[in-house]
Structure 1
Amino acid sequence: MTMKEISGDYLLRLDDSYKIIDVRTEEEFKNGHIKNAVNVPLDKIMDNNFDLDKNDKLVVHCRTNGRSKQALAILSDLGYKNLSLAPGVDLYPYDLVK
């Protein structure tokens, strides 16, 4: 799998060409998420029930990186190439929005 790990600081400096994917549950997402993140829960990725462009630059995160690593493995197997792992919301002091 081709994936790079980025820091929380780096994530916050990314331009709009990157899509931030939060793979936590809808409830977790509603309770606070990174600004501009899109919620695609891991179960939807596991069921291949999502709509992401394979050419997009995707940055995936969750709470502690367990689910995001699973999601990245699945996305890689599905042919996504531009994948990055960002620290989960419990691992970096993001200013979360609701």
Structure 2
Amino acid sequence: MDEVKEITTKDLQEKLENNESLNIIDVREDEEVANGMIPTAKHIPLQQIPEAINDLDQDQEYIMVCRSGGRSMNAASFMNQHGYNTINMAGGMLDWDGEVVF
């Protein structure tokens, strides 16, 4: 299996500040997302990923986010196995210092 690429929270924040076009998917549960999400992130709870990926473009790159980096790594790994190009945000929202939206 291919190893999932990772991005640091700092690098992701820089990309957002540079207005790069990014596809960020937050796989946390509803009550976690209620505490704030990265601006522009799309919320798809982890258990919905298997059916949700059919609506995602395989030509795009997706940055996966969760609370600490574990669930998003599982989601990224699953998506990679199905032909998607994913990057896991290492450290998750616990390490995120950037802006959040509610």
TM band (smaller chain): 0.7 to 0.9
Contact 1:2–1:83 (8 Å) recurs in 2: no
> Could you state the TM-score of these two structures normalised by the residue count of structure 2?
0.82
Q: Distance in 2 between matches of 1:2 and 1:57?
A: 15
SS in structure 1 opposite 2:95? coil
Alignment counterpart, residue 83 of structure 1, candidates 82, 86, 89:
86
Cα RMSD after superposing both structures: 1.4
Say how many residue pairs are matched. Answer: 94
> Gaps spanning 5+ residues in structure 2: where?
none
- Name which of 48, 51, 61 aligns with 1:49: 51
How much has 1:27 moved relative to structure 2? 2.3
CA deviations over 1:64-91 (Å, ceiling 9, x no partner): 01101110111011111x2111130012
Identity between Structure 1 and Structure 2 (%): 34
After TM superposition, the runs of 4+ consecutive aligned structure 1 residues lying more than 4 A away are none
2:33 is paired with a residue whose SS is helix
1:20 counterpart residue number: 24
SS at match of 2:96: coil
Partner of 2:33: 29
